[in-house]
Structure 1
Amino acid sequence: MTFPTHANSYYAASANDKAERPVFSGAAVCDVCIIGAGFTGISTALSLVEQGKSVIVLEGSRIGFGASGRNGGQIVNSFNRDIDYITKHYGAEIGRKMAAMAFSGSELIRRRIEQYNIDCDLKNGNVFAACNTKQFNELKEKKRLWEANGHQSLQLLDQDGIKAFIGSDRYVGGLFDPLGGHIQPLNLVLGQAQAVEAQGGKIYEASKVVRIEHGTPVKVVTENGGTVTAEKLVVAGNAYVFGLLPEVESQAMPCGTQVIATEPLALELQQKLLPKDTCVEDCNYLLDYYRLSGDGRLIYGGGTTYGARDPGKIESIIVPKMLKTFPFLKDVKVDYAWTGNFLLTLMRMPQVGKIGNNVYYSQGYSGHGVTNAHLMGEILGEALMGNTERFDVFAALRHFPFPGGRLFRVPYTAVGAAYYSMRDKLGI
């Protein structure tokens, strides 16, 4: 068997831990088995081994192979849908409980980095950048909303103010969140994986699960015939798991996003681009996002391909976006270009629940996976230890299948994306 490799990304090239974990074989028994070694799976595993549980993590490829090791590396607070939307669609009580968790993911990430001394280029602060007056007015409302729910350190930026953060004329204003930030995401998940292993957890790579045998206990079977029997199971493969939980598959859709990393830039150019070294995401429906890496590269991402289709030439999609924001980078070389899949739900809220009495799942963070996946790992850990208070809030959220089922959900959603993209361009 050829051992799987990470995508050819800047993150993989700069990974602190390139060691291959063993392939699972034979039979084993544990308290909790986890399918998927991304942010959700590893965060769950760490929460459990800290409580003394025996944990086995089965990863079909490599630790952080999927979105956890390919994303933009941005720590962005709240959820894809904000607290006002949640309150309107799910009621005041759920809105209040979700608001209490909206800023917990970023806190957990920083706590883990400090506790386990994880080297992942943590930098503080993120900026939401408004491309038109409508978006700027929405950022004013976001500031009011977040302040009403306990976040008091936000800073609204007018057209002059945002230039202190971004060396571009594209934006009419923005909102600075000092509790946001950015990291090298693959090193973040690898650092937490090492913490799991240091406390007795077992992580196996190239160990794809092909079948779940429901029951008490639950059993999973890997591609090469290995079996793990566990009291409880967590399915945490997000956009990279298919066929294991058909009960929930129709309610989520894999999507792809594209990212590039430039060559290392001169310090003077870095300071011209992002004077305060924060990360940035604009407010468009199909948004651009960017930041500086630990070694001074511009990491720039954006665009969405529905149905997780890989674009033929990532640079041809992203470089024009980068140059629209920073025209003076026209002679800068791109060293890396990669794509990765995330999982979108129709309601744009995490899809969390339990099947039977011992199979748990969490997926569908809809572009907010860095913070939400860490949070859900902690919440799953609580639920598996018997405290379901926060888990029940997410599990109560109703989800719906994409219209048209598997055949038509991609074109249907793409048409919707094109509509909202046009609204972004018109500023309406």
Structure 2
Amino acid sequence: MSASTTTDHVASWYAASAHESPHRPALQAHIDCDVCVVGAGFTGISAALHLAEQGYRVVVLEAARVGFGASGRNGGQIVNSYSRDMDVIEAKYGGTTARALGDMAFEGNRIIRERIARYGIECDLREGNLFAACNVRQFEGLKEHKALWERYGHQQLELLDDTETRRETGSDRYTGALLDHSGGHLHPLNLVLGQAAALEGLGGQIFEHSPVERIDYDTPCVHTAQGQVRATRVVLAGNAYMTGLLPSLENKSMPASTQIITTAPLTDEQRRQLLPNDRAVEDCNYLLDYYRLTADGRLLYGGGVSYGGQDPRSIEAAIRPKLEKTFPWLKGVAVEYAWSGTFLLTLNRLPQFGRINEGVYYAQGYSGHGVTCSHLAGRLVAEVIHGESGRFDAFAGLKHQVFPGGRALSVPLTTLGAWYYQLRDRLGW
């Protein structure tokens, strides 16, 4: 797992408002354990915590800090299902696979809430998220979306017309919305830090600033610059921040980044006009915008995708026009934080789960749905290590294709495709 140019959290609002967390030492010893997890984001910490609860001796190796990557930088929205929804899965993979994945599509959300309740994690959990339609075609799609999710047992959904959506969002931009009462939003960095503390309370060990240099796969042994971990099982959970450890998958995934800005604290009147019920919102565009209020009354607004993970020259300049299009009455509002986070994109927009052998497992590639799906992944990895492979294998059986042109050409080709879909968004196709 390669080290980044910095090994501390980026200068985000999350880092500025995070609960105090210890600076954990780098690995400087030879350790034996049951399971070694590479990566201390949602996937790795979720898997490690599930395993520790079952009595496994777990060691987590992190190249930077707990929650350094996407887990500590994302929009903080609890959004159900996957980046490709169940109708696409049905059409491409058949009814059996769709039913297996559909039975798990709303589980990640429940795992998050279980973790928060069980360990008393303070992470500003708020209820409800909105999918907002920017045109009539998108609103008709939301009606179909509601029927689809209800067919898979999810009944906590409510369609809103344009007037109701305006009251919820404070914006004239939308023709309607779908409210998921089981969704929500939270402080993601505090969530992963809270779970890491819970893991250590159960005897798990976390080593930061410990990038993995190589792995012996046959008799699993994970090597860092100053130590090694011999384990019965290894879990690779570095996602977009892991390079060189899963070479067979590198042409089947691509790093992509999204950008977020956070305003100065708003007045009480502004907050009431903006999001009176404190929901999270994302629109239905292909290159979507997403936003919510923070616990201290700021507007956190994100949007767009940079394929390949490169940041725009100015994050604020890239995102501010989107914010001001949605909320013209906030034109000129002060922005105090701007940052970006990299996630891992797959060609079919479904996660990559699998094995290198019976001792080494991986889970990655949530394609923008990582908050909930990573928590599900952690549970499924723990299940397969514990000898219950059925649910993990439902994902492991998905076929993943190489990006056209591999890594070398995937960025320009994907960007070209994104321009086409952005044009469709603008024209309302």
Q: What TM-score range do you get, normalising by the shorter chain?
A: over 0.9
Matched, 1:98 2:101: yes
Counterpart of 1:404? 405
Q: Give the drift of 1:266.
A: 1.1
Tell me if the contact between 2:263 and 2:298 (Cα under 8 Å) persists in the aligned partners. yes
Matched, 1:140 2:143: yes
Cα deviations by residue, 1:300-337 (Å, 9 ceiling, x for unpaired): 00011110002221000001100000011123211100
Matched, 1:122 2:120: no
Q: Distance in 2 between matches of 1:26 and 1:63?
A: 20
Tell me if the contact between 1:3 and 1:206 (Cα under 8 Å) persists in the aligned partners. no
Counterpart of 1:376? 377
Alignment of 1:168-179 (within 5 A): 168-179=171-182
Tell me if the contact between 1:129 and 1:283 (Cα under 8 Å) persists in the aligned partners. yes
Amino acid at match of 1:286: L
Alignment of 1:61-100 (within 5 A): 61-100=64-103
Secondary structure class of the residue paired with 1:139: helix
Q: Distance in 2 between matches of 1:225 and 1:153?
A: 50
How many residues of Structure 1 are paired with residues of Structure 2 in the alignment?
426
Matched, 1:304 2:305: yes
Secondary structure class of the residue paired with 2:45: helix
Alignment of 1:347-362 (within 5 A): 347-362=348-363
Same amino acid, percent of matched pairs: 57
Counterpart of 2:167? 164
Q: Distance in 2 between matches of 1:4 and 1:421?
A: 35
Secondary structure class of the residue paired with 2:229: strand
Q: Give the drift of 1:3.
A: 8.0
Matched, 1:29 2:32: yes
RMSD: 1.1
Q: Distance in 2 between matches of 1:402 and 1:363?
A: 16
The TM-score with structure 1 as length reference comes to 0.98
Alignment of 1:3-402 (within 5 A): 4-216=7-219, 218-222=220-224, 224-402=225-403
Tell me if the contact between 1:9 and 1:337 (Cα under 8 Å) persists in the aligned partners. yes
Tell me if the contact between 1:164 and 1:276 (Cα under 8 Å) persists in the aligned partners. no
Q: Distance in 2 between matches of 1:244 and 1:99?
A: 30
Amino acid at match of 1:33: C
Q: Distance in 1 between matches of 2:250 and 2:360?
A: 15
Amino acid at match of 1:220: V
Q: Distance in 2 between matches of 1:23 and 1:413?
A: 38
Q: Give the drift of 1:18.
A: 3.2
Q: 1:179 to 1:381 in 2, by over 3 A?
A: same
Q: Give the drift of 1:155.
A: 0.5
List runs of 5+ in structure 2 lacking aligned partners.
none
Cα deviations by residue, 1:13-32 (Å, 9 ceiling, x for unpaired): 01102320111112001000
Tell me if the contact between 2:308 and 2:411 (Cα under 8 Å) persists in the aligned partners. yes
Counterpart of 2:422? 421
Tell me if the contact between 2:53 and 2:202 (Cα under 8 Å) persists in the aligned partners. yes
Tell me if the contact between 2:250 and 2:407 (Cα under 8 Å) persists in the aligned partners. no
Moved over 3 A (4+): none
Q: 1:279 to 1:16 in 2, by over 3 A?
A: same
The TM-score with structure 2 as length reference comes to 0.98
Secondary structure class of the residue paired with 1:250: helix
Q: Distance in 2 between matches of 1:164 and 1:381?
A: 43
List runs of 5+ in structure 1 lacking aligned partners.
none
Q: Give the drift of 1:225.
A: 3.1
Cα deviations by residue, 1:384-407 (Å, 9 ceiling, x for unpaired): 111111101000111001000121
Q: 1:206 to 1:152 in 2, by over 3 A?
A: same
